[in-house]
């Protein structure tokens, strides 16, 4: 075996040991390590800061849905490029912005009831905005989805609805 192969094998072994040490193996461990507290009353996990699950898809998502029942997020919630059919199990309230770009969403079912800042669901497979949050404190971004031209801003969106598909752009105040 030449020296480069030996080095490569040692690097792979080292990388695997580092990953094994850093990754929690249960949803509960992950939630606790990221500032989550289980709320017995709601049976959901609340977080006192930002939540970023994109690199933890193996724990956070099962069969196209969130495997963690999220509750109140006192920061932003980010789930880029996560394989979701809808947002079932997602947070009920996000005090800052909610991002679910490139998740292959077919529906907003399970979207937060309230988002304090922006709601961003760009680059999915949404054909309507049913189940949109009942309150969005700023803008609702939904570009690169196969939405019809007559899509209207959901009630409760305080800022703009921004749609930008291949052949048109709508920015509704």
Mean pLDDT within 100-104: 94
Q: Assess whether pLDDT exceeds 90 at residue 2.
A: no
State how far the Cα of 95 lies from the Cα of 137, in Å rounded to an integer.
9
- Mention every residue, 6+ apart, whose C-beta is less than 8 A from residue 127: 106, 145, 146, 147, 148
Mean pLDDT within 146-171: 78
State pTM to two decimals: 0.81
Listed residue (150, 130, 137) closest to 86, CA to CA: 130
At 153, is the pLDDT very low, low, confident or very high (cuts 50, 70, 90)? Answer: confident
**pLDDT of 12:** 56
At 108, is the pLDDT very low, low, confident or very high (cuts 50, 70, 90)? Answer: very high
* Pair of tokens at residue 82: 């996560």
Q: Assess whether pLDDT exceeds 70 at residue 115.
A: yes
Averaged confidence pLDDT in the chain: 85
Q: Assess whether pLDDT exceeds 70 at residue 8.
A: no
State how far the Cα of 1 lies from the Cα of 50, in Å rounded to an integer.
47
**pLDDT of 24:** 45
Tokens 């898809």 belong to which residue?
A: 57
Q: Assess whether pLDDT exceeds 70 at residue 4.
A: no
């Amino acid at each position: 075996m030449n020296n480069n192969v030996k080095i490569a094998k040692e690097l792979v072994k080292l990388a695997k040991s580092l990953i094994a040490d850093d990754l929690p193996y249960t949803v509960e461990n992950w939630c606790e390590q990221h500032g989550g507290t289980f709320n017995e009353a709601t049976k959901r996990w609340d977080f006192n800061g930002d939540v970023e699950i994109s690199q933890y898809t193996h724990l956070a998502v099962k069969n196209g849905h969130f495997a963690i029942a999220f509750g109140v997020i006192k920061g932003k919630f980010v789930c880029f490029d996560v394989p979701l059919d809808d947002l079932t199990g997602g947070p009920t309230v996000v005090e800052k912005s909610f991002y679910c770009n490139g998740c292959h969403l077919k529906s907003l079912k399970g979207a937060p009831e309230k988002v304090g800042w922006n709601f961003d669901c760009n680059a999915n497979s949404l054909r309507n905005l049913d189940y949109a949050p009942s309150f969005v404190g700023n803008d609702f971004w939904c570009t690169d989805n196969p939405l019809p031209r007559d899509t209207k801003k959901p009630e409760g969106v305080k800022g703009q609805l921004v749609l930008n598909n291949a052949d048109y752009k709508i920015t509704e105040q």
